[in-house]
Structure 1
Amino acid sequence: MMRVITGIAKGIRLETMEGLDVRPTTDKVKEAIFSSIQFELYNSDVLDLFAGSGQLGIEALSRGAQSAVFIDNSKKSIELVKKNLEKTKLIKQAQIFQMNSYDFLKQTNKKFDFIFLDPPYNKGILTEILPLLSDKLNYNGKIICEYEQNLILPEKIVDLILKKNYKYGKINISIFCRYGEDE
């Protein structure tokens, strides 16, 4: 069962897809992510780049983000994101696009305070997409990556620098910001 942990949509169950390739973020990992950014979320603009069910962007909206953009290539994922946003009554704060993440980044001029990345594992997507995100971050923005345990990300990518790294069993969480910004 996947649910919204806290905020205005607290406790609402979110639907997820079934299958071997689907690995929703556990409550434990989601709570750790949002505990580290909880005081910065209010009125923020969020990008959920590999949205899946939309749970990371929805959690951010529930906790006070002002807007979220959800991107996923899969039609089923986009339908699920819409359903979950309607269920949580957060759809008015959302923009949803079924498209390739790379194409979205090339086309958008929008900047974000938080960018959530949880791409498919073991495909090299994270190391390809991170260098494209620096100019999509607002001042003091953060990129939060969820990825497989055997992937080692560099501490510096273009002008992004690794600020924090957490391990939760087989899952790694890393937070990047622009060099010279943040604490």
Structure 2
Amino acid sequence: MTRIVAGSAGGRAIKVPTAHTRPTSERVREALFSRLEHRGYVADCNVLDLFAGSGALGLEAASRGAAHVELVESSRPAAKLIRQNAANLGLDVQVHTAKAESWVTLPPRREFDLVLLDPPYALEEAVLGQILFGLMPHVADDALVVVERAKRSPEPRWPDGLELQDFRDWGDTRVWSAIHRSPGH
């Protein structure tokens, strides 16, 4: 069972798609969000969850007080389930049914302070690099971009403007964090 760890919906269960998703474990979400909150990247932030899958990351951010949360998921059944979970939890989020690589090519409607990417572990590194590059117009200065991958995966290829801050391992999961710095910052 997958639960929201903390915030207004803390302890409440969410339904997860039966196929093609790998929800971030509760342990990893708890550790990740503890670090994000300590750095000031959740409450009152605009948050984007790409490759939303079960929606656990975006819903966790909404539960913990994010100002605005958008989730992008390519699977229609998974996106529908995210919408149902958000309604059941009383969380106001926007869910887009689109591929991440297509969504990042859209004109930006807002700047995000925190971007969470948890792509399928099988996603090719070159595709991840294209998505990170396409993401740049959508992120605010000093925004944090977090990429979750298998521990054995190579470090993502960060586009100009994203500087690696750190990485952490939790079990078989590695999470990289990079900060957006505009030129001259």
Identity value in percent: 29
**Are residues 1:53 and 2:54 paired?**
yes
1:75, 1:98 within 8 Å by CA — same for their partners in 2? Answer: yes
Equivalent residue letter for 2:136: S
Displacement of 1:155 in angstroms is 7.2
- 1:151–1:128 distance in 2 versus 1, CA, 3 Å: farther
**Structure 2 residue aligned with 1:104:** 103
- 1:80–1:113 distance in 2 versus 1, CA, 3 Å: same
Query: Structure 2: which 5+ runs fail to align?
Result: none
2: CA distance, partners of 1:156 / 1:51? 21
1: CA distance, partners of 2:122 / 2:160? 22
1:67-82 alignment runs, 5 A limit: 67-82=68-83
- 1:49–1:155 distance in 2 versus 1, CA, 3 Å: closer
2: CA distance, partners of 1:105 / 1:61? 21
**Structure 2 residue aligned with 1:87:** 88
Displacement of 1:156 in angstroms is 4.5
1:78-157 alignment runs, 5 A limit: 78-90=79-91, 93-109=92-108, 110-124=110-124, 125-154=127-156, 156-157=158-159
- 1:66–1:179 distance in 2 versus 1, CA, 3 Å: closer
Task: Give the TM-score of the pair, scaled to structure 1.
Answer: 0.90
Q: Which 10-residue stretch deviates more, 35-44 or 6-15? A: 35-44
Structure 1 SS opposite 2:104? helix
2: CA distance, partners of 1:95 / 1:155? 28
- 1:11–1:154 distance in 2 versus 1, CA, 3 Å: closer
1:155, 1:162 within 8 Å by CA — same for their partners in 2? Answer: no
Displacement of 1:41 in angstroms is 1.5
1: CA distance, partners of 2:107 / 2:93? 15
1: CA distance, partners of 2:173 / 2:133? 21
Displacement of 1:59 in angstroms is 0.5
2:41, 2:114 within 8 Å by CA — same for their partners in 1? Answer: no
2: CA distance, partners of 1:107 / 1:133? 10
**Structure 2 residue aligned with 1:159:** 161
Task: Give the TM-score of the pair, scaled to structure 2.
Answer: 0.89
**Structure 2 residue aligned with 1:63:** 64
1: CA distance, partners of 2:28 / 2:104? 26
Q: Which 10-residue stretch deviates more, 102-111 or 42-51? A: 102-111
Displacement of 1:134 in angstroms is 2.3
**Structure 1 residue aligned with 2:16:** 16
How many residue pairs get matched?
A: 178
**Structure 2 residue aligned with 1:25:** 24
2: CA distance, partners of 1:156 / 1:130? 7
Displacement of 1:126 in angstroms is 2.4
1:117, 1:144 within 8 Å by CA — same for their partners in 2? Answer: yes
Displacement of 1:127 in angstroms is 2.8
Report the RMSD for the aligned CA atoms in angstroms: 1.7
2:140, 2:180 within 8 Å by CA — same for their partners in 1? Answer: no
- 1:120–1:155 distance in 2 versus 1, CA, 3 Å: closer
